[in-house]
Chain A
Amino acid sequence: MCGIVGLFAKQENISANLGVHLSKMLESMSDRGPDSAGLAIFGKPIAKRAKIMVQSQSPEDDFQKLKKFLSTKKEISFSFETHSTHAVIKLDVKQKDKVASLINDTFPNLRILSVGKKMEIYKEVGRPAEVVKRFEIAKMKGSHGIGHTRMATESAVTTLGAHPFSTGEDQCLVHNGSLSNHNSLRRELMRKEMTFETENDSEVAASFITYRMNSGKTLKEALESALVELDGFYTFVVGTENGFGVLRDPIACKPAVLAETPDYVAFGSEYRALTSLPKIEKAKVWEPEPATVYFWGH
């Protein structure tokens, strides 16, 4: 069991309070996933700037060293924000790949959670209420965001085992369910030079979608091929630069509820996740069909 939430703002009143809404939604799913939690928030992009999200187990030490290291590189102009165990490095969009690989090569203890123009990923071990407090999610604004509360089944309870998993630039995935063919699929993807940080089945799903999209498929096509290649139970919510998509496996044991009003589209594993949203009693509420790709974009 895990909990998933998602919120897509159609109006300013929702995007201005996106963090507040997502925090409440995530906390309401604590029973479904008390061991770790995470969120991806898509904020306003800054022209020609990109973000690299970095995570560390000993942030005080590591981030100090990282900051110092980046400062010695005269050609890199960057800003550095620390949020507990995470840091956001904002820099010139042209330098993001170079800096990301520099960090990877120089700091083996650091993990890059995501690279993109809009997306920031925050995830940590602990109850959802602690996680949203730790990163002060309630202060964040954005056009859309997705979140996950984890009850681990397939792999260890670690920060990197928490969701969302980045699936490419400004793209991520959260998963409720369990995949049965993830080991063979991981080996196949490794042969295609995809890399993995964990033994987690959901990371394989994320990598699978990244691989398909890198090969020129659209998100819809990549999700449709997931229906063929992935064996197991899943409800996925995929966050992209413009919005989010939803896919349930054909058996559809894992729950999912969608709600739409003129102000937002919201996803929850249960209706309980949606009850804190404004005017939810007037929303159109329905259960997404099995084996059907849904998407909302700006």
Chain B
Amino acid sequence: MHILDFNKLSLRDINKTLQESDKNSFFSIRNPKGSHALAVGINKKITVKVVGSVGYYCAGMNKFSDIKVEGSAGPGLGENMMSGNIHVTGDVSQYAGASGHGGSILVEGNASSRCGISMKGVDIIVKGNVGHMSAFMAQKGNLVIFGNAGHALGDSIYEANIYVAGEVASLGADCIEKKMTKKHLSKLENILSNANVSDYNLDTFRRFGSARSLYNFNVDNAKIY
């Protein structure tokens, strides 16, 4: 294990070391003190453990690597990630996992507003609550919420799935509750077991997705022209 300490190294040095490291290396990052853009743009399978809270854009564009934050993360965690796993033991701020293409994000605390906005295939699991406008224009992937969801959940959603165990404050435009089929239950079980989450009761989850009514032009609007 290599220790990278913010008290001795600059953010640029730390990110460079991570990006240029050998495959399967293991790093422990100390004293991040809310630094922005930590562990971004990694594109090989390495393991990074961050001891402490991080600022904006942690683990952005992640590919293959496993990144664990023992603390909380600021806005834009794992933005546009492609693959790999991100695990945050605390809370995360706005737009976690925004436009993520693949991989998984596990948040043990709460996520703030716009969690999974425009997600394109990433799986996001939040053990606490999510804020308003979560999964806005979500295209693909799964957002699993153990707690409650804020207002306008899944507004203008495409083909992503949302699973919620708690209460939903309100649904956004074109987002509806859908039947939880056996197929979806086993999908959900898969997502959770892939993320090593074990303490759950599948029966408590409800499923939400697109009514697909915004997909095509509504001919009734033609008279406007």
Contacts and interface: CB of A to CB of B under 8 A. Distances in A.
B91 A272 contact: no
Size bin of chain B's contact surface: 10 to 19
Contact of A270 (B74, B91, B113, B131): B74
B3 to A, nearest CB: 18
A210 to B, nearest CB: 30
Nearest to B90: A285
Interface string B46-89: 00000011011000000000000000101100000000000000
B197 to A, nearest CB: 23
A172 B35 CA distance: 30
B91 A271 contact: no
A286 B34 CA distance: 14
A180 B72 CA distance: 33
B210 interface: no
Contact of B33 (A257, A272, A285, A287): A272
A290 B113 CA distance: 9
Contacts, number: 40
Contacts of A275: 33-34
Contacts of A257: 93
Contacts of B56: 270
B35 A272 contact: yes
B131 A285 contact: no
A189 interface: no
Given A286-B91, A290-B113, A255 B75 contact: yes
A254 to B, nearest CB: 10
A252 B53 CA distance: 21
B112 interface: yes
Contacts of B36: 272
Contacts of A60: none
A229 interface: no
A281 interface: yes
B94 interface: yes
Given A255-B93, A272-B34, A275-B33, 6 more contacts: A252-B94, A252-B132, A271-B55, A272-B33, A286-B91, A290-B131
Interface of A: 252-253, 255, 257, 270-272, 274-275, 281, 285-287, 290
Which 6 A-B residue pairings sit nearest by Cβ, starting from the closest? A271-B34, A272-B34, A275-B33, A287-B112, A271-B53, A275-B34
26 contacts: A252-B94, A252-B112, A252-B132, A253-B94, A255-B74, A255-B93, A255-B94, A257-B93, A270-B34, A270-B74, A271-B53, A271-B55, A271-B74, A272-B33, A272-B34, A272-B55, A274-B34, A275-B33, A275-B34, A281-B52, A285-B53, A285-B72, A286-B91, A287-B91, A287-B112, A290-B132
